[in-house]
Chains A and B, each alone.
Chain A
Amino acid sequence: MSNPSKPAPPAGAGAPPEPSGALAVRIHEKLFRAADGGLVRAIENLAFEAPKHGFTALIGPSGCGKTTTLRILLGLDADYRGEVRLPEPEGRVAAVFQEPRLLPWRDVETNVRLALPLELKGANLDALFAELGLDAMRTRFPGELSLGLARRAALARAFATEPSLLLLDEPFVSLDEMTASRLRALLVSVWSARPTTALMVTHNLREAVELADRIVFLTPRPGRLRGVVDLDRPRESRDAVWREATLRTIDDAYPGIL
């Protein structure tokens, strides 16, 4: 543990630092084999917690291991040293990837329903589709959707599974600002109605200040913990003035991110 600016809990070996229900990440080392055969250290001693039913943002420069961390949490990469404790060991994990990753040959509703676990098959999804503005899109194929709508379908798929952990990998990247901010508002309202532990990777500090209860900062590669900022203010009272002031405070403590 190198330089957490906020006093992190003592790194006791294995002792859970947060009450159970939180997401605890402790990656000692993650190596990648580069194309030339050499080993690249992507993550080194990265440890942080995401509180239960909180919204945590993970921010860091390109290549610092943010997406790698998500892949480890998703169980898509088991080749690392360290341990990860999910909010519920047997709970469901949902992901919203950078690309919508919808099956192009199935319509929107089928795409969502295919992700549902057995006990939720046949669930009524009307409310979720309505909230996300996808009512008229249920029988469309993904190729007929704009990127913004496809992202909404990916959000619908994630929330429909009622996950105990929701992982988002820059879900608003390459959208125009208007579409992105509308989608952020949608995410907040859908997430508030269905509380779940959320962890979002982003490089957009403004987005994090708008959405997150906790922001975790990573160093450049190899990714280490740079610091943690908790934002206690309720989301609905985060007006433009507060957001600007918070951005400035954070920028002073962690320069180079804005």
Chain B
Amino acid sequence: MADTETIPHQDEDDSELKRSITGRLLFFYTLGDVLGSGIYVLIGLVAAAVGGAFWIAFALGVTVAAITGAAYAELVTKYPQAAGASLYVNKAFGNRPLTFLVTVSFLAASMAASGSLAVGFASYFAEVWSAPPALLVSLVFVALLVVVNFIGITESVWMNMLMTFVEVAGLLIVLVIGIVHVAQGNADFGVLTHIDTSGDYGSPALAVLAGISFSFFAMTGFENTANVAEETIDPYKSFPRSLVGGMVVAGLVYVLVSMAAALTVPVETLASSDAALLEVVKQGILPFSDEFMTTLFSVIALIAITNTTLVTIVTQPRVLYGMAREDVVPGVFAKIHPVRRSPWVGLIFSGAVVGSLLVIGTLVTEAGGGIDLVGRLATVTVVLLLAIYATVIVACLRLRGRDEEHPFFRANTPLLFVGLLGNLAILYFTIYDDPYSLIWCAGLLGVGLVLFLAEYFFGSKGTGTRTPDLDSTEA
């Protein structure tokens, strides 16, 4: 290698091109990823559980999530690779079965999240065009996202930013409606402190905990920022700021939007609506026709949900790819399409699993299973992610004092313990409230187990890609 040299990174013409994700892009990536999931879909459920004061649930939920985000920021600045939770758990415990479990849980959570979002998409879509059946809409939605991901449109950072702006704009509309309503003197602020204790949850504390549990889906998504960790410029500085900053802004938006919704729409109406934020724009507070506002807002909600779903659908084949390279799932998941350089087998597989979740969910609902599919899949996501979040915080604490030669962000230790307790409390309540969600979790984890067994019994060592022969001159 005498005449070969690696250009040092401080090379003047290359320095700023070395990495491409700036702190600002990362901020919008976090914000878009967090904001899209949930608030459009779940606000009705949360309002039903807590009553008029449901903003408290959002505030507390986002606090727990932001603390978890701080743990992620610490770990990302220590280990700036794309593998996220699996990597941290592997570093902290070095236990292969545990790493596998965390990886598969993450994959399962991501798939359940896509499913929940797809159902949410269908319910907003029905406001624009109600002819096609919801199942068909959600399946076509997932299929389209798989294709879009395959082609690589999702890779545009500008597209990502644009969608985030639209997302924020949608929530701003809700805020403006709330402000106009208050300015007109029609608001009854008493509703903001009203906690409904007449429902299933007798005490105010339990009602709020239920609200946090239902709203927690809206806080998830920030863990996907680890995807771009390696390509972030100056991660030590920008990661904590952009990740935790993005979460705090998202939390603020959630609290204000919840207040605006509670002030403008009777809680019973929110609670019984499939697309609750639409009820706010339907109140006729702004001087536009109902129809116009509904269509505009539905389109914005559809874009917001699409943005978040795209990120989850990008993540799944990546996880499968990593596992295939590790020889724990069959090597086909490491197959990369020659033209698009996309992991097409993993993509189709992820799409198929999400699609079957939707079909099974719809069949169970129609058979009188009495489940709300959006809520159920959101709960499954939340259960799996809470377990992962708690594990990541423990991993963060355990990795203290190790690999600290480089500058890294240090999360506040007492806060981490608060966050750990918070995650566990919400996890406990979520399982207690909906034990059947564990069956769905088990089912999804089973998919991972099947893949593992398939590799174990039928797989061959390696990914099936042959190491090239350097001397041949085929062209």
Tell me whether A and B are bound partners.
no
